[in-house]
């Protein structure tokens, strides 16, 4: 109640009971409803926190009370609810990249990451593109604080190490592939020792150039000359490949002609031997006649305009001389 001075003073209810408004509240129903609501919430939270889904490009690390107990593959899985088990998905089947010295998203990106000193004490700018993926999700999550930063620093260190032992000519022209292979081998070997859950897929030199425009133009001229030399060599090889079959064909033709002439000479020689053998056989049968005949034939071939007479008598009777010309003519006519 209020006093005369305006202050308030509480006066207890002498009736000994609760006010009528409080007596009408259904406390049992409220308590029952609260218990039912709490049970429903408990069950709902348990249901909605006892399963999870892992994407096809992921693996999930399951921890029970903070300790790693399982690594699961893509699909639908179940776990203990209410935070007893926690699930950490990791992108293991995704190729990720690191860009050193440039940014594909920002053309105006500028950094000193690409500035290096070669083995012959020249300064060049080399940009690298690195591909990697997560190979061990447990090591990736718990072996180090920032595995990507560790990998980036490791690559920068090995790139400078390899470029520092390479001449500027090789770094700008023909030695790029060798540099890439050496960096990849060194980084892969060190990653195995670090065990941070990352695997290096590829290391490529995106661009390499001298720091000044004059030197850049000189190296471009050298590269152009090498390409022209390769073009000339390729053209020469193409000409060689075109001419060799033609030369082989001509050689085969010459060999075939030589073989034909060889066989022809052999056949002619064989024929002459056969003729000589036949003449020799006749000579054996009639030596004098054959000798005279060969003599007359030789004279007629050596002196074709001379008239030769054969004496068929004793050498004194002219009527017994016969002209060889008529005999040869008659033989040819026959």
More confident residue, 119 or 292: 119
Task: Tell me if the pTM is above 0.85.
Answer: no
pLDDT score at 202: 94
**Whose structure tokens read 């390409």?**
227
**CA–CA separation, 64 vs 168, rounded Å?**
55
Best CA proximity match to 47, nearest among 36, 39, 55: 39
pLDDT in tens, 252-289: 889 999 999 999 999 999 988 888 888 788 778 878 77
Give residue for tokens 């209810």: 13
**Tens of pLDDT along 141-167?**
998 889 999 999 999 999 999 999 998
In order of 158, 159, 173, 270, the CA distances from 179 in angstroms are: 10, 8, 11, 74
- Residue 64 CA to residue 86 CA, distance in Å, equals 7
Read out DSSP for 198-226? EEEEEEEEEEEE-SSHHHHHHHHHHHHHH
DSSP state, 304? T
Q: What is the CA radius of gyration of the chain?
A: 56
What pLDDT, in 10s, does the model give residues 196-255? Answer: 999 999 999 988 887 667 766 777 787 788 889 999 999 999 988 888 888 888 888 899
């Amino acid at each position: 109640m209020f006093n005369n001075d305006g202050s308030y003073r509480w006066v207890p209810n002498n009736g000994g009971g609760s006010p009528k408004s409080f007596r009408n509240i259904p406390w049992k129903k409220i308590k029952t409803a609260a218990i039912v609501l709490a049970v429903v919430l408990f069950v709902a939270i348990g249901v909605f926190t006892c399963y999870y889904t892992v994407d096809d490009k992921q693996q999930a690390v399951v921890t029970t009370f903070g300790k790693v107990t399982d690594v699961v593959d893509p699909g639908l899985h179940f776990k203990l609810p209410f935070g007893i088990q926690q699930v950490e998905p990791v992108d293991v089947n995704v190729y990720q990249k690191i860009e050193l010295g440039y940014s594909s998203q920002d053309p105006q990106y500028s950094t000193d990451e690409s500035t290096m000193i070669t083995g012959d004490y020249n300064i060049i700018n080399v940009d690298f593109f690195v591909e990697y993926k997560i190979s061990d999700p447990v090591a990736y999550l718990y072996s180090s604080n920032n595995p990507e930063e560790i990998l980036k620093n490791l690559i920068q260190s090995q790139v400078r190490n390899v470029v520092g032992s390479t001449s500027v000519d090789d770094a700008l022209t023909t030695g790029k592939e060798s540099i890439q292979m050496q960096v990849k081998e060194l980084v892969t070997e060190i990653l195995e020792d670090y065990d941070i859950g990352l695997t290096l897929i590829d290391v490529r030199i995106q661009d390499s150039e001298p720091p000044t425009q004059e030197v850049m133009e000189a190296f471009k001229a050298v590269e152009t000359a090498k390409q022209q030399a390769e073009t000339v060599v390729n053209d020469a090889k193409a000409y060689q490949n075109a001419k060799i079959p033609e030369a082989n064909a001509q050689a085969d033709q010459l060999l075939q002609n030589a073989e034909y002439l060889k066989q022809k000479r052999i056949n002619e020689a064989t024929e002459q031997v056969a003729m000589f053998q036949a003449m020799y056989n006749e000579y054996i049968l009639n030596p004098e006649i054959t000798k005279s005949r060969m003599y007359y034939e030789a004279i007629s071939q050596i002196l074709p305009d001379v008239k030769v007479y054969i004496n068929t008598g004793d050498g004194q009777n002219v009527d017994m001389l016969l002209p060889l010309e008529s005999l040869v003519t008659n033989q040819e006519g026959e």
